[in-house]
Amino acid sequence: MKPSARLPLFTIGMIAINVFAVCVAVIQFLDIYDSLENSRLNYTEAAHGLDIIGDMQYQTQEARRTLLYALATDDSNLQVMHADQSRAADAEVAGLLDQYEGLMAGVREGAAVEKLSQDWARFLILRDELITTMLEGDARTAVARDQKEGVPAFNAVRMDLEMMKSLLKQNAGELLERAGSFQHALLRMAFLLGTLAVIAGVSVVMVQSRSKVDTLRASEARLKEDFERVRAEEHAIAELLSAVLRAATEYSIIGTDPDGFISVFNRGAQLLLGYEGEEVLEVFKPDAFHDPVEIAARAAVLGMAPGFDVLVAAAREGEAETREWTYVRKDGSRVPVTVTVTAMRDPEGVLLGFIAIAADISARLHADAELRELHEKLLLTSRQAGMAEVATGVLHNVGNVLNSVNVSGNLINERLRASKVADLARVARFIDEHRADFAGFVTRDPRGVMIPELVSRVSAALLAERDALVSEVECVTKNIGHIKEIVSMQQSFARMGGHVEMKSVESLIEDAVQINSASLTRHHIKIVKEYEPVPDVLIDTHKVLQILVNLIRNAKQALESTDPEARRIVLRIARKGDKIIVIQVKDTGMGIEPGNLKHIFSQGFTTKKNGHGFGLHSGALAAQEMGGTLRADSPGPGKGAVFTLEIPVTLPPPVTGLRNAGDTVSEPALAA
């Protein structure tokens, strides 16, 4: 229940009812008052009416009396005078009747007035005739007629007036009575109004007091709720505090006054330092628990005398200071700790003391030591793993080169098998057989005649053979040199250094193409060169060569499944600013799935049937070792791929743009 919300409605309702009642009562009161006033007015009118009737009685009597006077004389002068008087009274009566009718218009005496008017008119007619008769001199007739008709006619008028009078009196009596009853009603209404006012007042007071009580109850309930809540909160806080304190057994908390004397020494501190609270409280300063040597060293750094102030120097400045210290326990043993010291201040900023919260870090230090050891072990393991990786790389690269060597070996083998040396041996045998008659044999024998030509052809063939073999052997030598370089690179890697020399980037690419030339030729792959002229740079040639050989071979493999006419590899050299050389190997081959792009440099990742997932991985590593990057891009499967090697070098400023791409298409050099 909400009294405060219900109360105004109740109050408003009560007030509305009271106002309504008072309004009704007031209207009623006014009505009655109006009626009373009307009654009074009517009564006044009735009284006035009675006056008029009185006057009419007098004037009718006068008219009658003067007529009688006239009848009683013979003197024409008197007769005329009385007749005039009678007429004058008659005129008065007519005026009074008008007045009376105006006053009593619409009241129930109307009928009586009507009757009076008729009777009076009848009397007047009679009177006029009597006057005429009398004035004509026939007084006797006139008197006789008056006795016979005049008296009853006038009595009728008198009765009418009496009737009107009594009716009016009755009416006035009723009006008076009604006015009295209205007065009573008014009194009752006044009493009712008064009572209503009292009831309204009382009910308002009741409502107010009730609302006060309700409000009081509501606020009491709220206070109770608040109190309960505050108690609950206090309880919760106490719980929290005790939980914190329990948790604080893991931490040593030492509080001091501004001078440094210990005022708080919690359970954690007791456990850590081996002192009981009463041993230290207000006796020691916290520096007593510290290694004096550390205190002295810190004091020297801060430029102050050793002591408590060394510990709180930063805290005094308003900073919380956390520092590693060594606590000396009561039993003399030492324990490494981190101590956080803060100043305690009241809201006005007045220093209340300091608080030092210390945590035993011996376990952490132990863990650190273990971690360090583990790290070393890991380091060793990773070194071994790295060596294995390096070995795999070396073998891979050596394998690649050996492939070329093998091709060259096979070529040499085939050449040697098809060698013209056998022809030369046959010529030598002929010469040996005809050693005695060599001149004759050469001139007469038809075979001998062919010998000089044969010798000449064989020698030419042998020369060609020699050239081809020399070329192949050079290739082999180069490849072997490359292998040596790979091996020495590995050695240099072991020494954390590469084989860096001044070299033309172009020639490096040419070497890489050369290494792969046999298979490029075999697969009818065109090489497009788009070389921006760059000067010779200081570069790790073997790493670059290893990367490029790999990239070109990958490109070649990517093109194997495509239309032989469309197989192309674009090789680009460009410079990016003054310090980066960019080498791109772009093919029109099978492309790379977007999902594979991010794994392509991971060790062991391959999409090739016989792949090891090592070439690109080692290439990326090599690029990384040079401080550069190797990046792969592909618009998608079937749309080719671009591998971009960026190597930081020292370059002079760029001179021109790209050498034209289209006009440098050439066949790769073929081994003869």
Partner 1 sequence: MDRLFIIFAFASMWAAGSPLTRAEEALAVVVNKANGVENLTLPELRKLCLGESNRWDGGKRVTVVLRDPGQEERAAVLRQVYGMSEDELARHFPQGESSKRMQFAPKKLSTAGGVQRFIFNVPGAIGFVRVSEVASSVKTVRVNGCSPGDADYPLKLAAR
The two beta strands, 526-531 and 568-576, are parallel
Taking the least distance from each CB to partner 1, the nearer of 74 and 317 is: 74
Q: How far is CA 415 from CA 207, 402, 405, 467, in A?
A: 128, 19, 15, 11
CB nearer to partner 1: give 142 or 573. 142
Nearest approach, Cβ of 136 to partner 1 (angstroms)? 5
Give min distance, CB of 144 to partner 1, in A. 16
Cα–Cα distance for residue pair 223/518, rounded to 1 Å:
98
Question: Using CA atoms, how far apart are residues 116 and 311, in angstroms rounded to an integer?
Answer: 135
Widest CA span of the chain, in angstroms?
241
Q: Which CB sits closer to partner 1, 141 or 456?
A: 141
**Residue placing its CB nearer to partner 1 in the complex, 67 or 552:** 67
Minimum Å gap between C-beta 68 and partner 1 is: 16
The 3-class secondary structure across 417-451, one letter per residue, is: HCCCHHHHHHHHHHHHHCCCCHHHHHHCCHHHHHH
In whole angstroms, the minimum distance from the beta carbon of 142 to partner 1 comes to: 12
Contact 542, 584 (CB under 8 A): no
Identify which of residues 125 and 320 has a Cβ nearer to partner 1 in the complex: 125
Polymer length of the chain: 672
Q: Which is nearer to partner 1, 136 or 593 (CB)?
A: 136
Report the b/e string of 72-86 with b at 16+ CB within 10 A.
Answer: eeeeeeebeebbebb
At closest approach, how far in Å is the CB of 84 from partner 1?
6
- Residue 48 in contact with residue 89, Cβ under 8 Å? no
* Closest separation in Å from C-beta 77 to partner 1: 5
What residue ranges bind partner 1 (CB under 8 A)? 76-77, 79-81, 83-84, 128, 131-132, 135-138
Q: What's the min distance (Å) between Cβ of 69 and partner 1?
A: 14
Q: Which residues pair with 296 in a beta bridge?
A: none
Residue whose CB is less far from partner 1, 142 or 489: 142
CB 538 within 8 A of CB 496: no
Task: Kindly tell me which of 138 and 233 has the beta carbon lying closer to partner 1.
Answer: 138
In angstroms, what is the minimal distance from the CB of 85 to partner 1?
11
Written as one string, the DSSP assignment of 622-656 is HHHHTT-EEEEE-SSTTS-EEEEEEEE---PPP-S
Q: With respect to partner 1, which residue has the nearer C-beta, 67 or 458?
A: 67
What kind and span of H or E run contains 593?
A: none
Whose Cβ is closer to partner 1: residue 87's or residue 210's?
A: 87
DSSP for residue 108: T
Closest contact distance (angstroms) between CB of 76 and partner 1 is 4
Q: How far is the CB of 126 from partner 1 (least distance, A)?
A: 14
C-beta separation of 152 from 119 below 8 A: no
Reduced to 3 DSSP states, what percent helix, strand and coil does the chain have, rounded to the nearest 5? 65, 15, 20
* Cα 516 from Cα 470, distance rounded (Å): 19
